[in-house]
Amino acid sequence: MSDERDDTQPTGPALGKDEWVARFGANRVRRSGALGVLEQRLATVSWWAWLTLFVAVIAALPLGIESGYVRRVAFDTVVLMLLALGLNIVVGWGGLLDLGFVAFYGVGAYAYALLASDHSGIHLPSILLIPLVAVIGALAGWLVGLPSRRLLGDYLAIVTLFFFQIFLTVTNNGDNVFGASITNGPNGLLNIDPLSFFGWTIPRSTSEGLFNVAYIYVALAFFGVVYVALRFVNESRTGRAWRSLREDPLAAEMMGMPVNRLKLLAFAFGAGVAALTGTFASALNGSVFPQNFEFPLLITVYTIVILGGQGSQVGVVLGAVIVSVLLEVLRDANDARSLFYVALVLGLYGAFRASTRLVVVLGGTIVLGFVLRTVAGAIDGSWTAGTAEDAGRAAHLAAEWVIVPLEPARWLAPAAYLVLVTLVLGLTLVGGRLRLAALVPTLYLAAFVWENVLLAKPEATRYIVIGVILVGLMIVRPNGLLGEKRVEIV
């Protein structure tokens, strides 16, 4: 997938690059040793081979596992991958802020529901309906982008945000439009037709009531088609024009590019992909509700695109897998606990490598934990008598180290959380020894808050983690995992 990297060592300043850039690039090009050889070999594998491998792995995943839950998560992950690919067109390539993206997903889902259900009495065949809905979505995107033709970048964000709000208002109140029920309001549309191709209906669940794997394959097929199509679009004239638009709209306009048309095109493409995704998601669920398309989903898709790297298709797909798995892991207290400690240790290792500072911080935190817990237990037994959330072996281990009060005072949770946030923010301001010293109590407090506050409310915790990732990434690494690093030239 890293086929874009040229594998020839630059000998002198390349055309259009200055010498420093060339040298800097050369430093990163080759790794020595076995790892370097492996990297070079992998770099020669073409992108479609990687894509096939990736799709095959996901396709094989549900075969061995007879669990409806795993299949459901796999399906949702593919949906997120498609949504991320769609948003990547608008944000990553076009550089436009589309805050109504999820509404287009909703438009697709509702359009499918209205054109293939008992509610409206229309039952179009899937083979006709799916392209139709994608076109409807693209048209909606084009229409929403239209007012932004005359407006500067920020206004586009506003118009799309409003479109999102209008979509929610209409779907929530659409059960009584002059007496007629169109969207059935918050109760949603039920009994939507499953997908059917040429007379073959794909049932939602198997005869044993298990999630039907066929839907994952349908979603994967769409994913493959969309991925390849978008790759070609990106390498086309339009794709290059989008990127130049992102880098500098003014310069692009001066070069004679039809800026407005390009913006609308990016919008329409993104919206079309989102609407397409809506069709089979709605066919699988058999129902649509307005609350499926709210703000948290929008932020999740944004986090995926930023995490993966704006502009990189491979990146956003990986981002979707990571975020989807992360959100599932955070649902379960035991998994979330393990994830937290592993992430903590890995993060420290990433920051300090194998050094004495790592030993000092880790050791200091562990010792501090035992000392504090013993002292707290000696003062009042009930302070350490609580049981950690969702008892398991890890929970017992954690409760031996972290203070878990039996009945914490009501002010304790907010106070601990606020102090933690303040400490973490404060750590970014200080440096040197002070930071190292302050890190130890911060880590312990983080563990305390995680065990006592965050694990108790997984729903809020999941989204807090998403919000933190989004802000942190924008500041520390705005190009994400695989995105292109953008250099602002002044």
Partner 1 sequence: MDVFLQLTLNGLTLGSVYALIALGYSLVYGILKLLNFAHGDVFTVGAFVGFGALQLLGGVAHPAVPIWLLLVLITLAAMAVCAVLGVAIERFAYRPLRDAPRIAPLISALGVSFFLAYSLQLLFGADQRDYDAFNLGSGVLFMTGFTIPGTEVRVPLLRIVVILCAFALMVVLWLLVTRTKTGKAMTATSIDREAAAMMGINVDRVIVFAFVLGSALAGAAGVLFGLRAPFYPSLGFLVGLKGFTAAVIGGIGSIPGAMAGGLILGFAEAYTQGYVSTRWSDLIVFVILVTFMLFRPQGLFGKADIKKV
Minimal distance, residue 428 CB to partner 1, in Å:
7
Residue 114 parent element (H or E): helix 101-115
Q: Are 454 and 467 in contact (CB under 8 A)?
A: no
Minimal distance, residue 457 CB to partner 1, in Å:
5
Question: By C-beta, is 52 or 169 nearer to partner 1?
Answer: 169
For residue 451, give the DSSP letter: I
CA atoms of 110 and 140, how far apart (whole Å) = 13
Of 466, 480, 482, 483, the one binding partner 1 (CB under 8 A) is 466
Question: By C-beta, is 47 or 295 nearer to partner 1?
Answer: 295
Q: Is 181 in the site for partner 1 (CB under 8 A)?
A: no
Minimal distance, residue 375 CB to partner 1, in Å:
27
Residue type, 403: I
For residue 5, give the DSSP letter: S
Of 425, 431, 432, 485, the one binding partner 1 (CB under 8 A) is 425
Question: By C-beta, is 79 or 96 nearer to partner 1?
Answer: 96
Q: Is 396 in the site for partner 1 (CB under 8 A)?
A: no
Residue type, 306: I
Q: Are 304 and 84 in contact (CB under 8 A)?
A: yes
Only segment of 2-10, 65-73, 431-439, 466-474 that touches partner 1 (CB under 8 A): 466-474
DSSP helix/strand/coil, 398? helix
Only segment of 31-39, 129-137, 164-172, 202-210 that touches partner 1 (CB under 8 A): 164-172
Q: Are 275 and 132 in contact (CB under 8 A)?
A: no
Which tokens go with 464? 């807090």
Q: Is 153 in the site for partner 1 (CB under 8 A)?
A: yes
The HSE-up count of residue 390 (CA atoms within 13 Å, CB side) is 16
Of 454, 480, 482, 483, the one binding partner 1 (CB under 8 A) is 454
Site residues for partner 1, window 240-259 (CB under 8 A)? 250
DSSP helix/strand/coil, 489? coil
Minimal distance, residue 310 CB to partner 1, in Å:
9
CA atoms of 340 and 344, how far apart (whole Å) = 6
Comparing CA positions, the residue from 259, 284, 249, 304 lying closest to residue 102 is 304
Q: Is 186 in the site for partner 1 (CB under 8 A)?
A: no
Q: Is 166 in the site for partner 1 (CB under 8 A)?
A: yes
Q: How would you classify residue 89: left for phi > 0, otherwise alpha for psi between -120 and 50, otherwise beta?
A: alpha
Q: Are 167 and 141 in contact (CB under 8 A)?
A: no
Q: Is 267 in the site for partner 1 (CB under 8 A)?
A: no
Q: Is 464 in the site for partner 1 (CB under 8 A)?
A: yes
Site string for partner 1, 427-446 (x = CB under 8 A): -x------------------
Q: Is 88 in the site for partner 1 (CB under 8 A)?
A: no
Instruction: Say which residues have a Cβ less than 8 Å from residue 360's Cβ, sequence separation at least 6.
Output: 436
Q: Is 347 in the site for partner 1 (CB under 8 A)?
A: no
Q: Is 467 in the site for partner 1 (CB under 8 A)?
A: yes
Minimal distance, residue 43 CB to partner 1, in Å:
29
Question: By C-beta, is 438 or 470 nearer to partner 1?
Answer: 470
Only segment of 28-36, 350-358, 377-385, 412-420 that touches partner 1 (CB under 8 A): 412-420
CA atoms of 28 and 49, how far apart (whole Å) = 25
Of 233, 299, 366, 376, the one binding partner 1 (CB under 8 A) is 299
Q: How would you classify residue 96: left for phi > 0, otherwise alpha for psi between -120 and 50, otherwise beta?
A: beta
Minimal distance, residue 79 CB to partner 1, in Å:
20
Residue 18 has phi, psi (to 5 degrees) of -85, 175
Question: By C-beta, is 92 or 369 nearer to partner 1?
Answer: 92
Question: By C-beta, is 218 or 316 nearer to partner 1?
Answer: 316
Q: Is 142 in the site for partner 1 (CB under 8 A)?
A: no
Please list the alpha-helical segments (H only) found in 353-431: 356-379, 393-401, 412-427
Minimal distance, residue 258 CB to partner 1, in Å:
18
Q: How would you classify residue 134: left for phi > 0, otherwise alpha for psi between -120 and 50, otherwise beta?
A: alpha
Q: How would you classify residue 390: left for phi > 0, otherwise alpha for psi between -120 and 50, otherwise beta?
A: left
Q: Is 143 in the site for partner 1 (CB under 8 A)?
A: no
Query: Could you list the residues that contact partner 1 (CB under 8 A)?
Result: 91, 95-97, 99, 147, 150-155, 157-159, 161-162, 165-166, 169-170, 173, 176, 250, 295-296, 299, 302-303, 306, 413-414, 417, 421, 425, 428, 453-454, 457, 459-461, 463-464, 466-471, 474-475, 478, 486, 488
